[in-house]
Amino acid sequence: MLVKVVVLTGAGISAESGLATFRDADGLWQGHHVDNVATPEAFHRDPATVHRFYDDRRRELRAVAPNAAHLALARLEQVLGDELLVVTQNVDDLHERAGSRRVVHMHGELLSALCDSCQGRFAWDDDLGDGPACPGCGNDTLRPDVVWFGEMPYDLDLIERALVRSDLFVAIGTSGAVYPAAGFVRMATRAGAKTLELNLDSSETSHLFDDARQGPAGKLVPEWVADVQALSR
């Protein structure tokens, strides 16, 4: 019998690919204060600094590859099909590059640009700092298509529908510090789902999970996927 699984991922799943996390010692928030690079106010106040922050991350993304954790989740999708949904807080495209198709980027994507004039969204893998013209309306009002603090995350209805009908909720590589994502474990528990956390060290929400395993995602996720595969044979 196939179980309905929702997997939430955070920066920790991409750490072993060489992408910085946010809160770890050498994390993204160390070099930049959140309020200067990840809020709409910061973008209106100083767009050049915000563009540089995201243009640098977009360039770094080209130089890295999915790791064993991303690849294991893509294999799990082969087994569970539509019964698996990956909800990521990450703006990188490593889940898709690993072969996952059923991925929701609740905080947006680095490889997408959003126009502040026509609200058009365009696949984008180049810098935005030099004010390129919007392919839709021609205005130079393109911004990174990411969800900043104070902005509404994407696809919350779809995510909440999947959570309330889930049998199993798994959080991988996330500190549980940012809402509404950090609240999903409570939503899943209320819906009667089993909950599992796979994280390098304890998070702000570890105590809310039925089972919390600590270690690198590149080791824990393939082990967990192998267990699920064995169960569903």
Where along the sequence are the contacts to ligand BV8 (CB under 6 A)?
A: 10-12, 15-16, 21-24, 27, 38, 89, 91, 107-108, 146-153, 156, 173-175, 177-181, 199-201, 203, 216-217
> Which partner in ligand BV8, Zn ion, none is near 118 (CB below 5 to 8 A by kind)?
Zn ion
Query: Which 88-127 residues touch Zn ion, going by CB under 5 A?
Result: 115, 117-118, 120
Is 207 one of the catalytic residues? no
Question: How many residues sit close enough to Zn ion to count as binding (CB under 5 A)?
Answer: 7
- Choose between 24 and 127: whose C-beta lies nearer to Zn ion: 127
> What is the sign of the dihedral through the CA atoms of 144, 150, 155 and 160?
positive
Binding test (CB under 5 A) with Zn ion, winner from 134, 168, 217, 220:
134
Q: Are 51 and 129 in contact (CB under 8 A)?
A: yes
- Choose between 50 and 115: whose C-beta lies nearer to ligand BV8: 50
The CB-of-46 to Zn ion minimum distance in angstroms stands at 22
| DSSP letter for each residue of 49-117 | HHHHHHHHHHHHHHT----HHHHHHHHHHHHHGGGEEEEE---S-HHHHHT--SEEETTEEEEEEEETT
Q: Are 63 and 110 in contact (CB under 8 A)?
A: no
Tokens of 108: 């947006």
Residues classed as catalytic: 107
